[in-house]
Amino acid sequence: MIKRNFIKTTLGLALVASFGGSYAQTTPLKFQLDWRFEGPAAFFLVPAAKGYFKDAKLDVTVDAGNGSGGAVNRVASGAYDLGFADLAALMEFHANNPDAPNKPVAVMMVYNNTPASVMALKKSGIKTPADLAGKKLGAPVFDAGRRAFPIFAKANSVSAVNWVSMDPPLRETMLVRGDVDAITGFTFTSLLNIEARGVKAEDVVVMQYPDFGVKLYGNAIIASPKLIKENPAAIKAFLTAFAKGAKDVIADPAKAIETVKARDGIINTELETRRLKLAIDTVINSPDAHAEGFGQIKGPRLSLMASQVSDAFNTKTRVKAEEIWNGSFLPTAKELDVLPKGKK
């Protein structure tokens, strides 16, 4: 009897070993968004809702954020394994904290171009960057467009401007009221917020940074050094599942918004669908993304950005481009083939 039980147990263990994939332990991962549950969050909520993360043996928790700086800090602290953050914010953290033991690293580019823009009402008379000289510009102190404005100003020979600071909810309101002449912000955030305050899109001047000589990268997926060291396979699995979900989101943004609505029931579905489409059109399905490949970067462009951020952000040390990026976890070329054909 003992011998028969021993044989059955041995056979059972052999079966588990043979079919380990079916019994593999699920890896829990905490993911920090850069902002609230708005349209672009669908890129992370869709693979969760469709079970792509689960199929990859991952148990992913996606939490709302309050800015790229916060996302970088929370991944650096170990509170989160992965996050979504503006690459300039990640560079700033590295350069200002050279001795920090846990500096996050970008592992996949999502916004190939910065979403930052300068926006003004046409009635202000502002038509070009040169018209901004001496004007009052408004933005929160941590706004990505404001932080990178010196790069925009240098590229377009803009002389001094006067900055007015405010909390994010007041930015577009102050522009519409005339308290400031122009604002900086993400195109797909501020433009729609201006419209929500009664201004038609055609009455807004939008100067997108990439259209005015500022080729900064935008948001990337970042990973903690601890996760990179202890479970690199989990990062690769996450990115592969994410890419699969991204293809679905780009193919059907309206359907993807249902996952955002499921997380935040009070969102305006029509508005967030427009926001998601605008994000796709401006920073994801862009000519630069087609040229470089979804999820990827080009070394010379990254090095130039590192130098520009060092200067514009006046960092304690120079940004080292080679310490910011680790592309070894990227999915295969076939798995990264998520962008629609024809836009180059």
Is 31 strand, coil or helix?
strand
pLDDT-based confidence at residue 6 (cuts at 50, 70, 90)? very low
Nearest alpha carbon to residue 272 among 20, 37, 28, 9: 37
Mutual orientation of helices 269-279 and 253-263 as an angle, nearest 10°? Answer: 120
pLDDT, residue 16, reads 42
Burial class (CB in 10 A: 0-12, 13-18, 19+), 325: buried
- Give yes or no for residue 1 having a pLDDT over 80: no
CA distance 190 to 214: 19
pLDDT, residue 10, reads 46
pLDDT digits (tens, 9 = 90+) for 280-296: 999 999 999 999 999 99
Domains of the chain from N-terminus onward: 27-113+217-329 (3.40.190.10), 116-212 (3.40.190.10)
- Give yes or no for residue 304 having a pLDDT over 70: yes
pLDDT-based confidence at residue 60 (cuts at 50, 70, 90)? very high
pTM for the model stands at 0.90
pLDDT digits (tens, 9 = 90+) for 83-136: 999 999 999 999 999 999 999 999 999 999 999 999 999 999 999 999 999 999
pLDDT digits (tens, 9 = 90+) for 135-145: 999 999 989 99
